């Protein structure tokens, strides 16, 4: 990981401020990725035998994140920025860094907060649903 900073400073001639922005946007993209993983894994709270489906759904998200986002049409790009946030994980942070775009950087940071809160909300609802179906406590 340290070599990434060395290459950014040495090859890309990045300043300390640009490195901080890079770290902030990378962290935000990581939060979106983790929140999406949590959301996809929470499907099992409502659909108990969906373990393999949850894994396949998340693997699909990762595979799409590695493909270039520009060739997709408008509707697919909207889906990739909302339902499957691969655009927020892979495309927008890179564009924000390349273009030095403050609005895009702020959008990624806001999306990270929104996705983290959404993941927490869905997890809390799922745990509540799961614990209400547990009758072992009532049988004591």
**Structure confidence at residue 140 (pLDDT):** 46
Tell me the C-alpha distance between 112 and 120, whole Å: 12
Low-confidence spans in the chain with pLDDT less than 50 = 138-140
Residue 40 inside a domain? The answer is yes
Please indicate, yes or no, if residue 4 is contained in any of the structural domains: no
Asked if residue 2 is part of any domain, the answer here is no
- The pLDDT, as a whole number, for residue 131 is 65
- Return the pLDDT at 58: 85
Q: Is residue 139 part of a domain?
A: no
∠5-24-105 over CA atoms, to 5°? 120
Asked if the structure places residue 6 within a domain, the reply is no
Residues across the chain: 140
Residues in contact with 6: Cβ distance below 8 Å, sequence separation at least 6, in sequence order: none
106 vs 76: CA distance, rounded Å? 23
User: So what's the pLDDT on residue 108?
Assistant: 94
Number of domains in the chain: 1
Rounded to 5 degrees, φ, ψ at 39 are: -65, -45
**Those residues with Cβ within 8 angstroms of residue 58's Cβ, 6 or more apart along the chain or in another chain:** 36, 37, 40, 41
**What is the distance between the alpha carbons of residues 44 and 130, in angstroms, rounded to a whole number?**
9
pLDDT computed for residue 114 by the predictor: 96
- Is residue 65 within 8 A of residue 89, CB to CB? The reply is yes
Residue 1 lies in a domain: no
Question: Is residue 47 in some structural domain?
Answer: yes
pTM: 0.79
Domain that holds residue 113: 16-132
């Amino acid at each position: 990981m340290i070599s990434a900073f060395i290459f950014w400073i040495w090859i890309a001639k990045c300043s300390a401020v640009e490195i901080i922005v890079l770290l902030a946007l990378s962290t935000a993209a990581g939060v979106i990725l983790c929140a999406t993983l949590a959301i996809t894994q929470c499907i099992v709270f409502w659909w108990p035998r969906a373990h393999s489906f949850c894994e396949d759904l998340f693997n699909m998200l990762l595979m799409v994140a590695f493909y270039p986002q520009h060739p997709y049409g408008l509707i697919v790009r909207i889906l990739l920025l909302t339902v499957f946030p691969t655009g927020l994980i892979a495309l927008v942070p890179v564009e924000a860094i390349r273009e030095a775009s403050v609005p895009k950087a702020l959008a990624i940071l806001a999306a990270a907060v929104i996705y983290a809160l959404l993941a927490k909300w869905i997890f809390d609802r799922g745990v509540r649903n799961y614990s209400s179906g547990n009758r072992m406590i009532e049988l004591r």
